Amino acid sequence: MNLDDALNTFVIESRELLESMEEALLRVEQSPHDEDLINAIFRAAHTIKGSAGLFGLDHVVAFTHNAENVLDSVRSGELEIDGDLVALFLQVCDHMGSLVANVAEGKEFGEDIRQRSDELTAQLKGQMTAHQSAGAAGAPAEASSSAASSEHVAVPAGGGEGGAAHAETDNWHISMRFGKDVLKNGMDPASFIRYLTTFGRIVNIVTLLDEIPRAAEMDPEDCYLGFEISYRTDADKAAIESAFEFVQDDARIRIVPPHSKIGDYLDLIREMPETEMRLGEILVRCGTLTENELDAALLAQQAADASSEAHQPLGTVLVAEQMVSPTVVQAALQKQKQVKETKGGDASMIRVNADKLDEHINLIGELIIASASIDLTALKSGNPELLEAASVMKRLVENVRDSALQLRMVQIGATFNKFQRVVRDVSREIGKDIRLEISGAETELDKTVVEKIGDPLTHLVRNSMDHGIEPVDVRLARGKPPHGTLRLNAYHDSGAIAIEVIDDGGGLNKERILAKALERGLVKPEQMLSDDEIHKLIFEPGFSTAEQINNLSGRGVGMDVVRRNIRDLRGSIDIDTEEGVGTTMRIRLPLTLAIIDGFLVGVGGSSFVVPLEMVVECVELSQEEIDAAHGRQHLNLRGEVLPFIRLKELFDIADAPPPAIDADADSPFGLQLESGRDDLPPVDEELAFLLQPVRRENVVVVNYAGHRAGLVVDTLQGEYQTVIRPLGAVFSGIEGISGFTILGTGQVALILDVPGLVRRVASKESRVNARAASYVMRE
């Protein structure tokens, strides 16, 4: 076994466990009596401790053990969950993360880490001490007298079995009920009691006389006595039971472990290997149940099932027969459930290195390019068999592409859940009561996008909490609830994913933003800006309207980074705000950064790719429509005003060279059009004009974020699987282009930045409307 690989697995699994532990801690603060959450927190800490012990990470084991002790008190109901305890365990969770990070980086257990461990350990022990002090202070006066006699066993009138079930000392409790014929069978009850003293000490013994009949009815050969014994030994339950091996058929023996043993049994159950076992097997292996007791319990279960229609679970029978503590049975059942869940997850999940997955996607991209080349060659050849083979290959490549991309798709819920901690900590820091709501957590997107969106989202969340949501007194004055609400939402929209950060705060103050922009020289006094353009001034570098600088905001650093990072992901960010009501920051991102379905168009001698998900329809313009749209930036599409952009003008593309005329070719006029020939004899100009193809323009109607626009192109070349290649640093600033791809011919086609082009059109319309409104107001 490679220890380095095993240690790396420990680090990965520990981080996952710490994430689930933090999530459970944040939820248990709202539901302090949720046993499932408390058990989840304990299991996470216990699993990390056990795994760390395998690698000799004693400092991790020691620290986690102290946390486990407190959690065990919480599980048993001795310690109540409150905000302070949750805050402490969040610090413990963070420190455990630091310990794991040290292991991952191969660092020594430094003095600073040791000091932090000691500080938190002292706080954990302080929680236990405070609890014990409170328990001692609240105990009744008679507790001291009962403690003095704790070594003795109280046996209720009418039998000792009830007392056996409640033995709370550090001694074993043995309840012996001999059958009447035990003496006739040659067995002496006293001999068994004497044998117990050979490997232990009888602390106390009570003889039960309740079954002795009247003297006239007594048979001198019958046994009527029972015994309740408090017994101290280091032997296990099986060894104690073996003392009664010869009398098991003539007696009823109950062996109850000491109270301190319960914790040992629970630890043994938790540390058992992740293999499927029956309840009885688990209890036998941990030592709380013997094989003979298990057989007796199974017989009792069969008898109970035969006497009633309802099935009696084995755990119920064991507790009813007082063979096993209910706590131990519950722990064994929980272990069973945990193993089943783990096995189910193992069967459906496999851990794959992300770098290998990226390499796999890159190879599929090369396969797509090669497939396009083969498809083009097959079309040129006209061979039916080759065309059929190329078509099958193309379909298979598409299926492989889709399945490979699906491997990298992850739910955004894990990213959203991390903000539970951010909102909790920040709201306490700034003195506001803010609650986080999450929706759309199941929405999937590329893992690469998820990894890069975390920082921008953090900036937006913190900004909404500090700037957006008002203090309590302001909210109450505006008729709002005292607590603010921050909502994270995600959904799919036109082939992209939309992520929203929504707050019910005061909204953006347009006048204040514009005044600050004028003060900083970001806009000129005579400029006419739309509301959207004013709101987006907050993304300018160094821009801030905060009156005071604090740890969260006020320096104007962050929002410009948010916009830059989102644009690096080929995304966009929009703002919807209403003053006094709230603000929505809406991020739109591509689902994947690797491969997309595209629509290939031609402009002059160049090719461009439009993301297919954003294409609504394609319309061929007649000459009349072209003439009607001349000099304008919109056209009439079935009664709808559609703004458009001529890609030829935007990118300054020259017309493709006109085809030349070959007078020697076989055609109705003895002529043939041939491109690139400049050595042909002159022909009649009128005839040449008639032979020139009629030039038509096409409009590709695209939709993004609810806005429609048209892209005027020369030719429509159909759907095309597009492998996205990033532009180099030199060309990264080109407006309207988000990347490039390689066609089957080996030529380069540029991928259009449709969101950027749509924003360009929408911004132009907004400015026109703003000028018109200003003109009307002046008139």
* DSSP code at position 725: B
- pLDDT of 543 reads 73
414: part of which helix (H) or strand (E)?
helix 413-417
Gap between the Cα atoms of 755 and 571, Å rounded: 8
Q: For residue range 428-484, what is the model confidence (pLDDT) as tens digits?
A: 888 898 999 999 999 888 888 888 888 889 899 998 998 889 999 999 999 999 999
Residue 584 has pLDDT above 90, yes or no: yes
Averaged confidence pLDDT in the chain: 78
Place of tokens 């002529």: 671
Q: For residue range 477-531, what is the model confidence (pLDDT) as tens digits?
A: 999 999 999 999 999 886 688 999 999 999 998 888 888 888 888 888 887 788 8
The residue ranges of every structural domain in the chain are 3-134, 161-347, 354-407, 410-590, 595-659+692-765
Place of tokens 């006419």: 528
Gap between the Cα atoms of 331 and 266, Å rounded: 6
Q: 677's torsion region: left (phi>0), alpha (psi -120 to 50) or beta? A: beta
The residues pairing with 619 across neighbouring beta strands, listed in sequence order, are 699
Higher pLDDT, 663 or 202: 202
- pLDDT of 319 reads 76
Gap between the Cα atoms of 709 and 765, Å rounded: 11
Torsion sign across C-alpha atoms 131, 133, 138, 144: positive
Higher pLDDT, 240 or 147: 240
- The pair of three-digit structure tokens given for residue 487, joined into one six-digit string: 């909502």
Average pLDDT, integer, range 618-624: 82
Buried b vs exposed e over 172-193: b needs ≥16 C-beta within 10 Å? bbbbbbbbeebbeeebebeebb
Torsion sign across C-alpha atoms 726, 728, 729, 731: negative
Residue 76 has pLDDT above 90, yes or no: no
Domain 595-659+692-765 CATH superfamily: CheA-289, Domain 4 (2.40.50.180)
SS3 748: strand
Cβ 508 vs Cβ 579: under 8 Å? yes
Half-sphere CA count of 151, side-chain side, radius 13 A: 8
Amino acid at 600: L
Amino acid at 749: A
Q: What count of residues does the chain have?
A: 779
Amino acid at 662: D
C-alpha torsion angle, residues 452, 453, 456, 461 (rounded to 10)? -140
- pLDDT of 151 reads 36
Torsion sign across C-alpha atoms 385, 386, 389, 395: negative
Half-sphere CA count of 307, side-chain side, radius 13 A: 7
Average pLDDT, integer, range 325-341: 77
Gap between the Cα atoms of 18 and 51, Å rounded: 13
Confidence of residue 258 (pLDDT cuts 50, 70, 90): confident
Residue 303 has pLDDT above 70, yes or no: yes
CATH fold match for the domains 3-134 and 410-590 = no
- pLDDT of 663 reads 46
410-590, CATH topology level: Heat Shock Protein 90 (3.30.565)
DSSP result, 459-526:
HHHHHIIIIISPPHHHHHHTT--SSEEEEEEEEEETTEEEEEEEE-S----HHHHHHHHHHHTSS-TT
- The pair of three-digit structure tokens given for residue 341, joined into one six-digit string: 């869940």
The class (CATH top level) of 3-134 is mainly alpha
Gap between the Cα atoms of 311 and 290, Å rounded: 23
Confidence of residue 388 (pLDDT cuts 50, 70, 90): very high
Average pLDDT, integer, range 767-775: 54
Residue 741 has pLDDT above 80, yes or no: yes
Q: What angle do CA 95, 96, 99 make, to 5 degrees?
A: 90
Q: For residue range 684-710, what is the model confidence (pLDDT) as tens digits?
A: 555 444 445 555 788 999 988 778 889
- Close Cβ partners of 438 (under 8 Å, ≥ 6 residues apart): 413, 416, 417, 487, 488, 489
- pLDDT of 164 reads 38
- Of residues 249, 227, 229, 240, the one with CA closest to residue 296: 249
- pLDDT of 158 reads 36
Q: For residue range 188-206, what is the model confidence (pLDDT) as tens digits?
A: 888 888 888 888 888 888 8
Average pLDDT, integer, range 258-269: 66
How, if at all, do strands 707-713 and 640-646 pair?
A: parallel
Q: For residue range 86-109, what is the model confidence (pLDDT) as tens digits?
A: 889 999 999 999 999 888 888 877
- pLDDT of 769 reads 56
- Angstrom CA distances, 229 to 205, 212, 232, 233, 257, stand at 4, 19, 10, 12, 12
- The pair of three-digit structure tokens given for residue 141, joined into one six-digit string: 């006066």
- pLDDT of 486 reads 94
Integer Rg of the chain from CA: 39
161-347, CATH topology level: Alpha-Beta Plaits (3.30.70)
- pLDDT of 618 reads 92
- Of residues 647, 767, 627, the one with CA closest to residue 710: 647
Q: For residue range 125-170, what is the model confidence (pLDDT) as tens digits?
A: 888 776 555 554 544 434 333 333 333 333 333 343 333 334 445 6
- The pair of three-digit structure tokens given for residue 248, joined into one six-digit string: 């098991």
